[in-house]
Structure 1
Amino acid sequence: MLDTVQGSETFTEPVVAAIDVTNVPYHVSPWKGEDDIEPDDERVWVNGRPRVPKPEYPEMVNGGKDDGDYEFQYATLTIVGRNAPLVLAVEPVRHNFNWEGDDGDTSSWAEVVDRLLEQARELVDIQLVMADRAFDSHGVFHVLDQKHDVDYLIPKKTDSKRLRADAEKVREDTELKSLVEQDASLYVREETTYVDVKSDETVGENGYSHDVAFMHVPADRKKWDTSPEREIPYALFVTNRSDDISPMDALGFTNRYSDR
């Protein structure tokens, strides 16, 4: 499929890629029924009651947002923009849940992104990565900028301290259309997942990784809204294109995220 697309006149490189998370429901409980429980089964306390996990339950199944929801989760990297959408890489995502006790593993978002880029860059040249808000982490930013040398555009999580601070600035100025903070230094720490700050040669003094720009702009989608007190909803994005984004540029640049 990729060979066919690359051979067409409409395919252009370097490409723009989108990284998203997809959940696939799994309609089987991880807990034994009352009739299947043996006297010597190990109990796990969940919401104030003892439960017994099934020993052969698929390890890649995660819990959903609501109690009783279970799902497989995948991260995908897809070519977007001017090119026809085409999935180039898929990675399963695992989270440790209460039925696994201390034996379960949790996938690092930075590791997931690294694996996706490793797969995709063997096939195409990538210029810009636009990722879901779930990937808002310093580890992900470091992997994209320092290991894979690609531009990125990612919305910040709604509980971001910086987002709340910038939202206050925006609300104070009713005429403000966008707010851009350029050349903000991004650091990684020992607790940053998937980044070994001691052995990683791309980590600078005091954990310095690279410069970023924060862009507070009108939100095109309701789910980005971080300032419901205003008539115009706003969202906060981060990019490593830190030195060439003006407030006017920010509007057009972040609109690319809407069109992905």
Structure 2
Amino acid sequence: MGSEDGFLSSALTLITFLLILIVTCVEAQYWIIGSPKTVTAAPGDDVILTCRVDPELNLAERTVEWLKPDLPPDPRDRLKGEEYVHQYRDAGEVLDLQMEAYRGRTMMFKDELKHGNISLKIFNVSEKDGGRYRCYIPKLKGWTQSSIVSLIIDRDLTKTGTTETTLFSTNLQTTGPKEDLNDLGGSSHRSRLIPLVVFLVLLVLGVGSGLYVFVSKLQKSEVSKVPPL
């Protein structure tokens, strides 16, 4: 019976592992989506870089960071500390580590954080502000923790005041073309999760059925071995 007990224990362990994996896949479904991926503005415009968490998540007590990943390290910074375009932490905006070029020129929408909206507004942009921006949520339980939005400053454009995409969370669910959502972890990625979950469920059911058949046959075999009285 030792080998049968070992098989039974291994099968139960496998089923438990698969169930945990299914639960993890279903729960860990947050995506950081920057959409549109590219924003073009004229010098002097105020710009909103749209970034959000999908599905909606309350981020009022989370840490949110905006960075410029392509900037070379500052040779004057002996500690090599990371500077931020903007940082939100402990339910407030943190200015200590903000890059000097952005001080007094950035803001987030605090009332929208509870809806998963982490969009950033930059005032009075110049050509130096062009480049890639990374919106990042440390320790976010999900498939992505960050997304990239590119800002292009075009001198040939006429200053319009504020260059922005749809901002508020009630509209963000449909902001941007479908290809943007596909590239940045939108609804198409979540739809790919469904076949995986179905496969894992079927796998667990198959293992369970096989285990049931094995145990049933084993019991019948043991009964048949019992000598008649």
Q: TM-score, normalised by structure 1?
A: 0.21
Decide which structure has the larger Cα Rg and report it.
Answer: 2
Higher strand share: 1
Higher helix share: 2
Q: Which has the higher contact order (CA 8 A, sep 6+)?
A: 2
Q: TM-score, normalised by structure 2?
A: 0.23
